[in-house]
Chain A
Amino acid sequence: MTGRNTKTFWLVLAVAVALLWTFLPMYWVVKYAFMTKTEIARFPPMLYPPEPILASFFNIFGFDYTTAEGTVFKASGQARQIILGLRNSLIVAAIVTAITTLVVVPLSYVFARLQFPFKGKLLAAILLSVSLPPVSTLIPFYTLYVQLGLTGTLFGLIVVTLTITIPIVAWMLIGFFRNLPPVELLARVDGFSRLYTLTRIIVPMARSGIMVAAVIAFLFSWNEYVYAQILVTGSNAVTLPAAMSGFLFQVPEPAQLAASLLLSLLPPFCIAFFLQKHIAEMHIA
C-alpha cells in the first residue's frame, strides 16, 4: 500500500466508525417502527425488520392496518393523545420560537454592544437561570399553576418553556452580536436612530445568527419533556413527548413508540441537516 492509500484506508475506517456511532443507537430503535410485536420480542434480537410494515404509523394516528395476508393491527388507544400532542407541540414550538426571537434579539444586542451600569450583574443573573435544574423549579411552578388554573393549558406551558429558551438563546446570541463590525458608528454618522439601526441594519446583518437562534429556541421547545410531563400530561394541552411516554411506561408498545419518536425527530433532523453550516457561527462568549 502506498502512503496515500494507507491514509485513505484509515480515513474511510474512521468515517465508518463515526457513522456507526452516530446511527446505531437511532437505528436500533427506529427499526422497531417497521416491525411487528412478535418480531421485536424475538430472541436473539433481529438486526433488521424481515418484512418492513408501516402498521405502527397508521396505528398511532388511529387507523387499523390490514396486511395482504389479512392480519389486522388495531389502532392505538393513544392515537388521540398523539394527534393532540403533535398539534400542540407545533403550536407551542411556533409561539415560543416567535416570542423568544422577538425578545432575545434586542436584549442580546443591548448586552453585546452597549456599555451601561449593572450590565455584568444582569448577565450573571441570566447565566444563573441557565444553570437552574428544572427539577428544582418544577414544584413551585406546579403549585403556582394549580392555584392559577394553568395546569393543562398551552399558555402555561409556553410561559414555562420561555424561561428555558430566553436565557439560553440570549447567551448564544450575545456572543454572535459581539463579533459584528461596529456599524453603529456608521449608522450614527448617517443619522439613523438606535431603533432603525437595530431593526434595519443589525437584524439584516445578523440574519444567519438570528436564524440559528430561532432554530435553537424551536429545538428546546419541541424537545421539552420535564415540564410537559408534569404540567400537561393527559390533558388537552399534551405535547408529543408527553403523549409518547404513554408507549414507554404504561403499556410498552415499542413499535408505536418508535414510530412516534421517528415522527418527532423529523423536524429537528431537517433543521439540523440544513443549518449545520451556520451552527458553528454562533461564537460563544
Chain B
Amino acid sequence: MADTTRSDTPAPPRAAEISNLSFALIISVPVLLFLLVVVAYPLAYAFYLSFHEIRFFGGYSATWNGLANYSKVFSDQSFWSSLGRTLRFTAETVVLTLAVGLGLALILKHLPAKWRWLRALIILPWAVSPYGAGIFFTYLGRGQTGIGTAVAGWFGSDHTLNLISARFVIEYLAVGAAWNMAPLVAFFLLANMLTTPARLYDLAKIDQMSRLETFWHVTLPPLRFTLFVFSCITTVLAMKTFDYIFTATQGGPGGASAVLTYTLYKISFVNLDLGYGAAMSFFLLAVILGATGLLYLLWGRKEERQ
C-alpha cells in the first residue's frame, strides 16, 4: 500500500517541529540545574550539619553525633515556646491579612470613578519591605515614641502607653504583618469582585436578602478560591518571616516575640551551634509544609472541587 501512495518528492522530515519534551528540556534544564545547585546544595549541607556537632573553639571541628541534635529539639523548652509563638503569630496574621484585605477590597470596589486614583495609594504598604515594616511598627508602638503615648497625651495623661508589651507583642506584630500584606490580597480580591455579574446582586435584591446575606451568598463565594490561595501564601510568609521581627522587636521584649526563625537565628549566629540550628530548621520546614498541607486538606480540596 505504501508504494502506491508514495509521493514523487519524499516528505521533508518533521524536524521543523520539535517535541514538547525536548523543547521543555532545552528551556528548563539550565535553570533547574542552577536552582538545584544553589538551592539543593545548601539544603543538603544543612542536612549534613544537622547530624554533627560543630565547634569553633580550638579550631573548626565537625563530630558525627547521629540523631542527637534532632532529639535535643524535642526536649528543648525554647523550641516549643518559639513554635507556639510562631503558630500564634501565623494564625493571627493570616486571619488579619484576609480580613483587612477583604475590607480594603470592599472599600475600593465602592469608590466612585473620580476617586479611583485612591487605589494606587492603598497598594503602597505592599511595596514596603518587611524590614521597613518592622522599622515603622517599632517606632509606632514603643512607649517612648509611639502613637499610644501620643494619644494618651491628648487625654491629658503623662504616662507612656507601650503597645509592644510582653503580653501582646505577637498580636501587635500580626497587625503590622497584615498591614504589609493585606493590600495585595485586596487587589486580587477586587479583581475577582469586579468579575462577579451585577445580575447576581439584582437577584439578591429580588430575594430581599439583607446586606449581610448578600455579602455571604453573592460577594463571598467567588472570592473563596483566592482567599484560600492567599491563606496559604500568608501562612508560608508568616512562618518564614525573620527580617520583619528582627527589625521590629529583636525577639523582645524579653524573648516574648522570639518566634522559631528568631530562635534559630540566635542558635546559629549568636551561639554558633550550627548543627543544632540546622536540625531545628528542618522542624521549621516541616511545620511550614505541614501547615500548608493541612490547609489544603481542610479547605483547598473543597474549593478545587467547585
Contact = CB atoms under 8 A, between A and B. Distances in A.
Interface residues of A, number: 87
A159 B130 CA distance: 21
A266 B229 CA distance: 29
Interface string B110-133: 110001001111111111111111
A114 B132 contact: no
A284 B230 CA distance: 10
Nearest to B235: A131
A91 interface: no
A179 interface: no
Nearest to B132: A261
Nearest to A128: B289
A248 B135 contact: yes
Contacts of B18: 194
Interface stretch (B5-13, B137-145, B213-221): B137-145
A183 interface: no
Interface string B238-275: 01101100110000000000000100110011000010
Given A15-B118, A223-B131, A136 B39 contact: no
B28 A28 contact: no
Given A28-B147, A107-B28, A139-B278, A219 B127 contact: yes
B77 interface: no
A215 to B, nearest CB: 9
Contacts of B45: 140, 143-144
Interface residues of B, number: 91
Given A107-B31, A140-B46, A279-B184, A114 B39 contact: no
Contacts, number: 240
A276 B121 CA distance: 9
A45 B34 CA distance: 51
A125 B140 CA distance: 40
A160 B34 CA distance: 11
Interface stretch (B19-27, B67-75, B87-95, B199-207): B19-27
Contacts of B124: 22, 26, 269, 272-273
A116 B20 contact: yes
A129 interface: yes
B243 A225 contact: yes
Interface of B: 16-18, 20-21, 23-24, 27-28, 31-32, 34-35, 38-39, 41-43, 45-46, 49, 100, 103-104, 107, 110-111, 115, 118-133, 135-137, 139-140, 144-147, 149-150, 152-153, 158, 160, 176, 179, 183-184, 187-188, 190-191, 226, 229, 236, 239-240, 242-243, 246-247, 261, 264-265, 268-269, 274, 277-278, 281-282, 284-285, 288-289, 292
Interface of A: 11, 14-15, 18-19, 21-26, 28-29, 32, 40, 43-45, 47, 103-104, 106-107, 109-111, 114-117, 119, 122, 125-126, 128-141, 143-144, 159-160, 162-163, 166-167, 188, 191, 193-194, 219, 222-226, 229-230, 241, 245, 248, 254, 257, 261, 264-265, 268-269, 271-274, 276, 279-281, 284
